[in-house]
Structure 1
Amino acid sequence: MLDPNRTALLVMDYQEGIVGQLPGTGPLLDRVAGVVDDVRGRGGHVGWVRVAFEDTEFDAIPETSMFAPIAASADLRAAMHADAPGTQIHPKFAPHADDVQVRKIRVGAFSTTDLAAQLEKRGITTLVLAGLSTSGVVLSTVREAMDRDYRIVVLRDACGDRDQATHDFLTGTVFPRTATVVDVAGLGDLWDVQ
């Protein structure tokens, strides 16, 4: 069962520019907004993860990186800059000042952020993951979180990917090996009711 005091919902890459790349995101955004409210209402923690770059970080991207095309294009650099509208948390959501908030420059939520330190400071041992995309930030973060010994819950219908078959394979076959995979509606059954 999930202890709200030791659980954090991580809403990953739900930013304007990424949400805009997926079709029909209205119901997805509604589900995520609902689960944010539910976690807050239970006394759980909420964290926001976004990908964006400062000028010096663009300059340090190796040519072998998947982000190399961004660094090489003035238009993409502008779109992915830390101050750009497309890199901000989607306006459907309103992060609170006391939420965990990190900006990353890699795919996963941990390697280029102080996320682990922020979670440790709050005593978090369980992560509930919602993210775009399933084959990007969600996959990378599941693997990193597993290596860091977190209990992991993936919200299948709070994740999305441009390739539905990939999303289905990851949430149906790969993630269940190391995580609990449920729909948003099923999360309520996992909370510790005392």
Structure 2
Amino acid sequence: MAKSALLLMDVQRSIVDIAEADAAYLARLARAADAARSAGIPVIYVVIALRPGGPDVSPRNKVLSALVRDGLFIEGDPGTEIHPDVAPRPGDIVVTKRRASAFSGSDLDLVLRSRDIDSLVLTGIATGAVVLTTLCQAADLDFGLTVLADGCLDPDSDVHRFLLEKLFPRLADVTTVDDWCRTL
């Protein structure tokens, strides 16, 4: 029997603002987190936070070096905080990453393996960044995978749609928050 965890990834103040996430999106994530907690499924938040000055960001990394240059997602900045509409509760876990994937530059794999978790339910912003990179890495690590389609958001609707309809179904079960909650 699979032991699952729900990942809420990059649902941070600045990212929610950039992606123009609405109240309905945040309410769906909160509903998924509440359902997971009620079912005894761990809720793990993954946040990106870069060190001041970017000592661990190569200038060859276009995306991250631009973030450091612009002073975005720096440790301690209020924009890196998890959005209050989906804030962690006691017992939830928060993992900090330094790259796009939830696994890169974090201790996520250690946390999952320590709890014998072998199946992940993915949500987050952006579909074409943290969700895509985490999904690919988790598939390579042999995790069972589910993606909550309406628990993902991307500023580019074409990228979002392509990933959810064409790529993700090859690697994971793709469903909605409501349908997933009904299975718990």
How far did 1:59 drift?
Answer: 2.4
Q: Is the 8 A contact 2:48 2:98 kept in 1?
A: yes
Q: Give the 5 Å matches for 1:17-96.
A: 17-55=14-52, 58-65=54-61, 66-71=63-68, 73=69, 76-77=70-71, 79-96=72-89
Q: Give the 5 Å matches for 1:91-110.
A: 91-110=84-103
TM score, norm. by length of structure 2: 0.94
The residue that corresponds to 2:136 in the other structure is 143
Aligned residue type for 1:100: I
How far did 1:165 drift?
Answer: 1.1
Paired-residue identity, %? 35
Mapped to 2, the partners of 1:156 and 1:20 lie a distance apart of: 20
Give ranges in structure 2 of 5+ residues lacking alignment: none
- Correspondence 1:183 to 2:179: no
Which of 11, 14, 23 aligns to 1:14? It is 11
Aligned residue type for 1:61: V
Give ranges in structure 1 of 5+ residues lacking alignment: none
Mapped to 2, the partners of 1:187 and 1:169 lie a distance apart of: 21
Rg larger in structure: 1
How far did 1:24 drift?
Answer: 4.8
Equivalent position SS for 1:167: helix
Which of 93, 110, 113 aligns to 1:120? It is 113
Mapped to 1, the partners of 2:181 and 2:14 lie a distance apart of: 30
Q: Is the 8 A contact 2:45 2:88 kept in 1?
A: yes
Equivalent position SS for 2:26: helix
Mapped to 2, the partners of 1:181 and 1:70 lie a distance apart of: 31
RMSD of aligned Cα (Å): 1.5
TM score, norm. by length of structure 1: 0.89
